[in-house]
């Protein structure tokens, strides 16, 4: 009888509380560049690629890359991209010339906006800058949403 009660209590716990744990955000593989909805260069000089993973019109995933080169050029995007194979190249058009930003191949930071309010809730650092492969570490919770739930290493 004691085992049945223990089993029922454990089952109730899993049904009532586990979905909250299962629904916690986790780091996903960065989508293809073609799926980004916006980009920007932040004050720290990092290129921020913005994604909408759930396709509801609100940004929820960000990849931050180090800008390795930035310059004005009259050359086309195709020409400049050939000089930096595999690197993301972005530009701002200024009439006759473009200002190009060339970023690192892989992101150094990934950020997740869980509630899609524009404030990042989780940040992960990829010190190896080798893509999302499991060696990323929790870095910070800028919104404060997860500061008590996740230990900083």
Classify residue 96 by its DSSP letter.
T
Q: What token pair was written down for 83?
A: 């000089």
Residue pLDDT, tens place only, 73-132: 999 999 999 999 999 999 999 999 999 999 999 999 999 999 999 999 999 999 888 988
Is the pTM value of this prediction over 0.75?
Answer: yes
CB 126 within 8 A of CB 108: yes
Domain spans of the chain, in order of start: 27-140
The residues, any chain, with a CB within 8 Å of residue 20's CB and separated by 6 or more, are: none
Query: Hey, is 18 helix, strand or coil?
Result: helix
Query: Hey, is 14 helix, strand or coil?
Result: helix
**Model confidence at 66, in pLDDT bands (50, 70, 90)?**
very high
Comparing CA positions, the residue from 123, 124, 114 lying closest to residue 58 is 114
């Amino acid at each position: 009888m004691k085992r049945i009660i223990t089993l029922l209590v454990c089952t109730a716990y899993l049904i009532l509380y586990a979905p909250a744990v299962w629904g916690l955000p986790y780091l996903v593989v960065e989508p293809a560049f073609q799926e980004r909805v916006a980009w920007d260069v932040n004050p720290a000089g990092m290129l921020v690629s913005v994604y909408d993973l759930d396709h509801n019109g609100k940004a929820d995933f960000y990849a931050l890359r180090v800008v390795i080169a930035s310059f004005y050029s009259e050359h086309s995007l195709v020409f400049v991209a050939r000089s930096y194979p595999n690197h993301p190249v972005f530009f701002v058009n200024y009439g006759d010339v473009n200002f190009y930003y060339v970023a690192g191949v892989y992101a150094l930071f990934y950020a997740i906006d869980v509630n899609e309010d524009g404030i990042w809730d989780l940040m992960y650092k990829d010190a190896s800058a080798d893509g999302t492969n499991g060696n990323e570490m929790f870095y910070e919770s800028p919104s404060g949403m997860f500061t008590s739930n996740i230990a900083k290493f």
